[in-house]
Structure 1
């Protein structure tokens, strides 16, 4: 008599160690602080500098857009990490790091152009 074993994928879903949850929240808040800094900087550059308004508006737009992307991405990443910890899965790679580097790099190139002019 041969018995077939049926493996059912179950969700573990347990409460992770509170230290990991708190570390995940601190990381989320750090991303939110970054987004707020970019938002404030973008608004300041676009509103208070009038020497070359088109360039300053472009820098401001890049910073404000990046702030929105980071804020939404931070929440999504927080949820993905929390879910992975609850289900004993590997932590997902953050997509925010390359996006942030690319956005800040674009804003820096625009700022260099303004300074060079």
Structure 2
């Protein structure tokens, strides 16, 4: 059997432009590629962190979706790492993303992560690198 590498994670979004703005502004993601399929009534936009061969986030926009998606109970969160947790937290707070307070699990009292929420309600964990 060959070696497997994770390629992307897909989430459905209600307002593609709003979601693109969020992921670019809040996390610095860049559009890697886009695929418009008017015949099948959807657009796919792949976002990455700028590094070569990075794991990508696929935003799927289905034409005519008039109501928010039900995220259900199976989805947990998307996680990203950042070198400077405190600066990222302050920036997210200043931009109105309502981050949770940073928390830690290691017992040393040092904050390790916090969460923000995207326009569709998906939770994003920001983790100290």
TM range (shorter): under 0.3
- The TM-score with structure 2 as length reference comes to 0.24
Normalized per residue, the structure richer in strand is: 2
Normalized per residue, the structure richer in helix is: 1
- The TM-score with structure 1 as length reference comes to 0.26
Q: With CA pairs under 8 Å and 6+ residues apart, which has the higher RCO, 1 or 2?
A: 1
Q: Which has the larger radius of gyration?
A: 1
